[in-house]
Amino acid sequence: MAQGQGFGFGLGKMKELTEAIKKAQQVQEGAKDLQEELENMEIEGIAQGGLVKVVMSGNQEPKRVEIAPEALNEGAEIVADLVFAAMSDAYVKSTDVMRGKMEALTGGLNIPGFGGM
């Protein structure tokens, strides 16, 4: 190994590595806060103009279902379809929120599965 070559990378690479480690630590700290924020969120999915509402957390945990009395007149099969539609709506909204918050948190790290790649 030539003198002054070190381990094959110069100070510029070491600085990049230090920056990446610092950013990863910030992401780890932010992930705890984000997890709590997502757990406390209430994201509402609706069907048929609000006849059925499903509320989920930002982590897709079901919180409650609200069914308007007039929806019950439609029969069990229709109510089931409306609950499913509201649940799907809440799920899509909550995953969009989670994805956006994770991308903001990991911004620029290129972590597979978190919007970076």
Burial of 114 (0-12, 13-18, 19+ CB in 10 A): middle
Instruction: Spell out the residues 6+ positions from residue 43 whose beta carbon is closer than 8 angstroms to its own.
Output: 55, 56, 57, 58, 90, 93, 94, 97
- E-strand stretches of 18-72: 43-47, 52-56, 62-67
Asked if 37 contacts 105 with a C-beta cutoff of 8 angstroms, the reply is no
Work out the average pLDDT over 6-31. Answer: 74
What is the average per-residue pLDDT within 106-115? 58
Confidence category of residue 1, pLDDT binned at 50, 70, 90: very low
The pLDDT of residue 40 is: 93
Note the pLDDT of residue 90.
97
Q: What is the domain partition of the chain in residue ranges? A: 13-106
pLDDT of residue 79 exceeding 90, the answer is: yes
CATH 3.20.20.70 describes domain 13-106 = no
- At residue 37, φ and ψ (nearest 5 deg) are -60, -45
Instruction: For residue 116, name the pLDDT band (cuts at 50, 70, 90).
Output: very low
- What pLDDT, on a 0 to 100 scale, did the predictor assign at position 101? 86
Q: Read off the pTM.
A: 0.68
